[in-house]
Structure 1
Amino acid sequence: MSTPATTPPRDPTSSEATERQLQLAAAQGKAYREALDHMVQDVADAGGTQRVGDYLIGYAIEKAEGMYHLEDGELVWHNPGDANAHVEVVVCDGADGRFVPGLNVTATLVTPDGRELGPFPQELVWHPMLYHYARNWDLPEDGEYTLRVHVDPPTFMRHDEINGRRFADPVDTEFSGVPIERGAEPVEPPS
């Protein structure tokens, strides 16, 4: 289940940004949230969002997907192989809604019969519509899973003496009753 699209609260005080600059950041966040809601509600097989600490964390479950990987300076296409689910995790700034890059994100899935799979790192994925952290999974069965997401504090610098004091603590969240129907989309890229 997804939370309704709203403008996230933000601290209007800043030592580095003008009101106009903060408005532009909020507009970026609003556009990103519209794309996130579209992914969660209209594209994915299952998805949702939760507010956790300084973040808004979302997920989307789809069929396993092929992707390009950079290997020895060349892009090489990889079909999903034995993978049968694609788990996407989105981490947004809870203040302005923008995507937070450069994070170490891990996910654990708990199967319908209680077995834990993971934690596994979710890698940053460039997507034409929505940056996210994701990986393909090989799941043992269809059914309702529990998804646990862990986000480590980022090591990037924070600009702004007032607003920059954020993203300092690790966060964990859990989504229960996540319906997963396994499948794969081994689509070959255009030649």
Structure 2
Amino acid sequence: MRRPALALAATPLLALAACGGAEAGAEEHASPVPDGVVEQYGTLDDEVKERGGRTTAGEWTVSYIVEAAEPWFEGHGQHEKFREPASGETHHIEIIPTETSTGRIVPDVPVNVQVIDEKGAVVDEQRLNFYYSAFFHYANNFSVPADGSYTLRATLGAPTFLRHGEESEQPALTEGATVTFEDVELTREG
């Protein structure tokens, strides 16, 4: 699989856990970051290295992962139904928007992805859903007509959450971003 070269830096949470917590050299103190959070970001970095890429656009660091089409649970509360990939769905494309300054995965982001062929035609476009998994992410299944090299264009809207701060401050993440990942090899094997 041909992908752009990446330099994956450890997230601030992983760096904090690696140094034993907030106090440098305080080996007798356990990390204040829960093991599950450290594991989540480690798994995310491993999967991006193996099946994806990462880029930065201002306040946003955006990662993608491409896998074979996947099932999921739909519904809420006590009405969950297991949904297998629909006929023709070939790939599960994940987008993980993080805040560049903190490395935190950002919730409540409207995310749309276009899969663009070598001629510049959009072959599929989906609004992504927010998923609970080994790490939080946005994703959907896509139908890609043929194996080949594609461009992924991810458009992130401004998150819908409220922001704390002082009146004199500029609130964080008030603008979305559009990023592209070129030369992404998409094959029927995912």
TM-score interval for Structure 1 and Structure 2 normalised by the shorter chain = 0.7 to 0.9
Of 151-160 and 169-178, the range deviating more from structure 2: 151-160
Following TM superposition, by how much is the alpha carbon of 1:35 offset from its aligned partner in structure 2, in angstroms? Answer: 2.5
Q: Within 1, Cα distance between the matches of 2:101 and 2:38?
A: 11
Following TM superposition, by how much is the alpha carbon of 1:30 offset from its aligned partner in structure 2, in angstroms? Answer: 6.5
Counterpart for residue 167 of structure 1 = 173
Q: Within 1, Cα distance between the matches of 2:129 and 2:86?
A: 18
Q: How many residues align?
A: 167
Name the CA shift for 1:24/1:156 in 2 (closer, same or farther; >3 Å): farther
1:157 is aligned to 2:162:
yes
SS of the residue corresponding to residue 163 of structure 2 reads coil
Following TM superposition, by how much is the alpha carbon of 1:2 offset from its aligned partner in structure 2, in angstroms? Answer: 3.4
- 1:1-191 mapped onto 2 (5 Å cutoff): 1-7=5-11, 32-42=40-50, 46-70=51-75, 73-82=78-87, 83-127=89-133, 129-161=134-166, 165-183=171-189
Q: Which runs of 5+ in 2 are unaligned?
A: 13-21, 24-30
Q: Within 1, Cα distance between the matches of 2:103 and 2:90?
A: 30
Q: Which runs of 5+ in 1 are unaligned?
A: 9-18, 185-191
Name the CA shift for 1:71/1:37 in 2 (closer, same or farther; >3 Å): closer
RMSD: 2.8
Could you tell me the TM-score, scaled by structure 1's length? 0.76
SS of the residue corresponding to residue 97 of structure 1 reads coil
Assess if the C-alpha contact under 8 Å between 1:29 and 1:97 holds in 2: no
1:37 alignment partner AA? D
**Identical columns (%):** 25
Q: Within 2, Cα distance between the matches of 1:166 and 1:32?
A: 24
Assess if the C-alpha contact under 8 Å between 2:8 and 2:54 holds in 1: no
Counterpart for residue 28 of structure 2 = none
Compare the two structures and name the one with the higher strand fraction. 1
Following TM superposition, by how much is the alpha carbon of 1:166 offset from its aligned partner in structure 2, in angstroms? Answer: 1.3
